[in-house]
Each structure stands twice: as structure tokens, then as C-alpha cells.
Homo-oligomer: A and B are copies of this chain.
Amino acid sequence: MTYNVAILGASGYTGAELVRLIATHPSLNIVGLSGNSKAGMAMADVFPHLRHLDLPTLTTIEDMSFDGVDLVFCALPHATSQAVISQLPTHLKIVDLSADFRLRDPAAYEKWYGKPHAAVELQKEAVYGLTEFYREDIKTARLVAGTGCNAATGQYVLRPLIAAGVIDLDQIVLNLMAAVSGAGRSLKENLLHAELSEGAHGYAIGGTHRHLGEFDQEFSAIAGRPVHIQFTPHLIPANRGILATTYVQGDPQVIYDTLNAAYADEPFIEMLPMGQAPSIKHIRASNFCHIGVVADRIAGRAIVIAALDNLTKGSSGQAIQNANLMLGLPETEGLMLAPVFP
């Protein structure tokens, strides 16, 4: 059976990545594409790499018909998303890729995003979209909130360890490197090729990155007490990929075994042998997450490193994985594309 989907915000990178993945997905059919600033344009003019596909012309959201649409991917900017989703027909299943419905607590939303939430009822209804940990809820959800790409990476490392109580909750350092596509297609001086290539720098240092809202919410819920990690993202001169180097205090072998057990049956999470470490080069353009554990020379400390593609497993791939579940399709359908190397 084939399902009809629409993509709102198809002129950004996560929108394009959705189209790329759906192009070879056997059960999804794109019937609508919106991109307000580029309404009226052919997708091939906005993204020439999609030239070979027969796609709908970009429209405004207002001009889009949702008749016969089964599911909507909403790849709009933060804040815009909640306004748009509030107005969508209620028969639609929705996977939202923005930050708008990730935080369950309206006060937390306001703290991290700087203004009150405008769709509190939807916020309550939304299921957090980290598939491996919310799988059952996602199957029956109408609205799923895709996670932050950094937030997903860090949680793949830390959730099982916090749940199992095998690490010191007050000494967690998450040092992260992120490729530039995570910043989107926005025109900012620091995203120019001339500014970023041959460079590397930290940003949102000291605990100001919004994905900390997700870490705080999820880790505290698992631990049953407040958990605050240290988190420093860095921008590196690469297109795709997140590498999360996590410093934890606990027994390295226990840590490895805990993660290994947690992900034994997961189709997209690959544990490396003990002592090996992943590279973002090896998960590019795929829905896989590679995780490695190495013991530190200091007893009782370990480094856990996870790698995933921010646009795929960190965003649009995750969105399709969730859509598959919501539509009753096999979870891995359309997502088993091997990473592109070199």
C-alpha cells in the first residue's frame, strides 16, 4: 500500500533530505511540497540534485490541499511550526522536524526558546521522536516531535547508561563536533565557505545550546532526579555528521556491556568492538549510528563516542523511521541505504 505525504518547508536541507530518501521509498508518495519564499518554483531549480524526479511544484502552505494526504512532514523553522501545525486538518498524521514540540514542559520551552508556547495542547499530545526509546508511543501518535540532531546523538550514548545507573550523573562532559549542514541553508557570515573551511571553533559554549533542554528533560526523567550535563558543540569544516565524544565516570566494561545490550536488536545502532571509535566518514548520508567505548587510562573512566549523520539519522531519516511506524510500515523501509564513502 502507498501513502501520500506532503512536506512543508521543502526548500531547506532537511526538506531536501526527506525528498532524497522518499525518492526510493517503496510506500511513500510525495503529493505536496511547500516553500513559502520559493513558491511557484520547480524543485529542480531550488535543488538541482533532484532534477531527475517528477515532483510537485513548490507552493505556499495556504495553497496546499491536504485532501488525500496521509501524513505531513513539517520541516519549518522553529516557532513557525507550531503556528502552522495548529491549523492543519486533524485527520493528518504529522512528523515535525522543528524544535517546537520537543519539550513537554511549557516553562522549559519558554526558558530555552525565549517566548511562551503558542500551542500548548499540541505540545502535550506530541510524542518525542527518538525512535528507539519511544517506539510504542510513536506507533499510535498523531504528532511526533523530531529530536534535535545533537540531542539524538548524545542520548544514544547516555540514555542506557543513566537508566542502568552505571555512571556518575554529576560528571558528564559531552564534547561534540557538528558538520555545517546542521546550521541549515541560512545566509550567515560564519557559514560562508571562506569563513568555515580550514576552521574549527566551539559555539554556544557553557551550556547555552537549546538542545540542552532536551538533555535535561530526558535524562532527568530517566534518572528520577535532575541531571545536568556539560555540553559544548563545535563547528567543523564538513558537510554532514556529528561526532559526540562523551566523558563518563564508571566501569568501562560495564558501560560497554550496557550499551551493547541496549542496542543488540536495533537495526540502525551499530556497536563497535570494545576499544574502537567511530568516524563521521563512515555513516555519511545513512540512517546508521556508530558507537564506540574506550577505557581511559584513569581507572573508572570511559570515553563513549557516537557518530551519526545530522541530516539523516539526526533529522530526516529519523522522521521517516517514525513515519513508517505511524503508518504501520516496516520501521526500516526505505532507510537501509548504505553510507556513502569516500
Query: Which A residues have a C-beta under 8 Å from some C-beta of B?
Result: 13, 16, 19-20, 23-24, 47-53, 171, 173, 175, 177, 180-181, 183, 185, 187-189, 191-203, 205-208, 212, 228, 230, 232, 234, 236-241, 243, 245, 247, 268, 270, 272, 275, 277-286, 288, 290, 294-298, 301-303, 305, 307, 336-342
Contact = CB atoms under 8 A, between A and B. Distances in A.
A284 B208 contact: no
Contact of A199 (B16, B279, B286): B279
A288 B232 CA distance: 24
Nearest to A51: B270
Contact of A290 (B24, B51, B173, B232): B51
Contacts of A239: 193-194, 197-198, 342
Instruction: Give the interface centre of A171, A212, A239 by most chain B CB atoms within 10 Å.
Output: A239
The 4 A-B residue pairs with the shortest CB-CB distance in the complex, in nearest-first order: A207-B297, A199-B281, A201-B279, A49-B339
A272 B201 CA distance: 14
Given A180-B193, A198-B238, 10 more contacts: A13-B342, A48-B279, A173-B173, A177-B177, A196-B281, A201-B281, A203-B277, A206-B302, A232-B245, A234-B245
Instruction: Give the interface centre of A171, A198, A284, A288 by most chain B CB atoms within 10 Å.
Output: A198
Number of copies of this protein chain within its complex: 4
Contact of A187 (B175, B188, B302): B188
A49 B283 contact: yes
Contact of A297 (B48, B206, B307, B342): B206
A272 to B, nearest CB: 8
Given A199-B279, A282-B51, A338-B20, A192 B194 contact: no
A236 B237 CA distance: 8
Contacts of A294: 205-206
Contacts of A240: 198, 342
A283 to B, nearest CB: 7
B202 A237 contact: no
Given A205-B305, A207-B297, A236-B177, A285 B194 contact: no
A189 B187 CA distance: 6
A249 to B, nearest CB: 9
A180 B24 CA distance: 28
B191 A185 contact: no
9 contacts: A49-B282, A51-B282, A187-B188, A200-B241, A201-B279, A202-B245, A205-B277, A207-B297, A247-B247
Contacts of A288: 51-52
A297 B228 contact: yes
A195 B247 CA distance: 26
